[in-house]
Amino acid sequence: MTEFTNESVNAIEATLGKVERALDRLQSGSYRKCQVCGAEIEASALTENPTVANCAAHPELL
Ligand SMILES: [Zn+2]
């Protein structure tokens, strides 16, 4: 069995949290909308990162 580091676990959990929040937004209808200003997030940004929650003017809060 391969050992993995705490960093790996933290990175996976951070990604999982982003995915869960993206799914929540999808169900509540706020997916594609910036969580700060409500502007529609560009399709290209969502293609690049499907869990992106903010528009280009509002960098993602971690
Ligand atoms: Zn915004």
Compute the distance from residue 61 Cα to the ligand 1 centre, in Å: 11
Determine the straight-line distance between the first and last CA of the chain, rounded to whole angstroms. Answer: 32
- Total domains, the chain: 1
Please give the Cα distance from 18 to 12 (Å, whole number): 10
Q: Look up the domain containing 40 and give its range.
A: 1-62
Taking the centre of ligand 1 as the mean of its atom positions, its distance from the CA of residue 27, in whole angstroms, is 20
Neighbours of 53 (CB within 10 A): 20
CATH number at residue 54: 1.20.120.910
Alpha carbon of 25 to ligand 1 centroid (Å):
15
5 CA → ligand 1 middle, Å: 35
Percentage of the chain lying above the pLDDT 90 cut = 85
Span 28-54, pLDDT tens digits: 999 999 999 999 999 999 999 999 999
Residue 60: the pLDDT is 67
